[in-house]
Amino acid sequence: MSGHSKWANIKHKKARSDEKKGKVFTKIAKEIIIAARDGGGDPDNNPRLKALIQKAKGVNMPNENILRAIKRGTGEIEGGNIEEVTYEGYGPGGVALMLSIVTDNRNRTAADIRHLFSKHGGNLGEAGCVSWMFRKKGLLTLNSEDIGMDADEFMLIAIEAGAEDVREDSGVLEVITSPEDFSTVKEQLENYGIRFDSAQVAMVPETIVDVNDLETAKKVLKLVDILEDHDDVQEVYANFSIPDDIMEKVQLQ
């Protein structure tokens, strides 16, 4: 995960255009609709909704957008029927990819995603073809320079807060939790003044594919970028790890 997390952190720090920001708002709104529909509109009794509201505020999503999405989910405002699906496949170099999708037209989305995989050197697979390589976990990431304390001290605090593991790779720290402990660990670490670049319940890979070839790395990152940009794709989970020297070359091109 570390190679992908580092790439995500790099993109997170880039300034977003208004168009990009609008797309982010739309994607989060879809997640909020699903969460409110499945667990109710009260964030105090719906941990998933609570986490999504925090995520929305973290990207400065207007409150009226958040409230409108919640009301759509609870049925107070009418809206089209949307559903959650997961797509799985392989990218260049045998990299495993899992896509979290929210769509109002499954057939259209499936055709789009299949086309993107095929066009960029990947293959959309059957359900279950790569999911066995991933486990659902809470994932908190940040730059090791931003923790404001010694790395060993941070790791100890995270473990005491309930984290299952803390990993560091190329300046990126990953705090791994169970899905159930995610909110508690996040809140306790934030009490120390720590702010995360990303915080989500994600599919974390247990099997890593090392991508040591520049051209393959470029193709993998291009495919991930394009998939993430699709309107119906909420998240792309991948199991690649790219060495620092290769990642730096990709960024320069």
The pLDDT assigned to 244 comes to: 80
Each residue's pLDDT tens digit, 12-38:
444 344 556 778 899 999 999 999 999
Give the model's confidence band at 69: pLDDT under 50 very low, under 70 low, under 90 confident, else very high. Answer: very high
pLDDT (average), residues 66-77: 93
All structural domains of the chain, each given as residue ranges with its CATH number in brackets, are 1-12+82-253 (3.30.70.980), 13-74 (1.10.10.200)
Looking at every residue in the chain, the average pLDDT score rounds to: 87
Give the model's confidence band at 121: pLDDT under 50 very low, under 70 low, under 90 confident, else very high. Answer: very high
pLDDT (average), residues 48-74: 91
3-state SS assignment for residue 105: coil
The pLDDT assigned to 3 comes to: 47
The pLDDT assigned to 107 comes to: 94
| Sequence-distant (≥ 6) Cβ neighbours of residue 80 within 8 angstroms | 104
The pLDDT > 70 percentage for the chain reads 91
The pLDDT assigned to 12 comes to: 46
Whether 81 contacts 106, CB under 8 Å: no
The pLDDT assigned to 253 comes to: 66
pLDDT (average), residues 128-156: 89
Instruction: Report d(CA 130, CA 90) in Å as an integer.
Output: 8
77 vs 5, more confident:
77
Give the model's confidence band at 47: pLDDT under 50 very low, under 70 low, under 90 confident, else very high. Answer: confident
Spell out where the chain has E strands: 83-90, 96-103, 123-124, 134-143, 165-169, 172-177, 198-205, 209-210, 233-238, 240-241
The pLDDT assigned to 252 comes to: 67
pLDDT (average), residues 226-242: 91
| Sequence-distant (≥ 6) Cβ neighbours of residue 64 within 8 angstroms | none
Each residue's pLDDT tens digit, 189-228:
999 888 888 888 889 898 889 999 999 999 999 999 899 9
The pLDDT assigned to 148 comes to: 80
Q: What is the pTM of this model?
A: 0.82
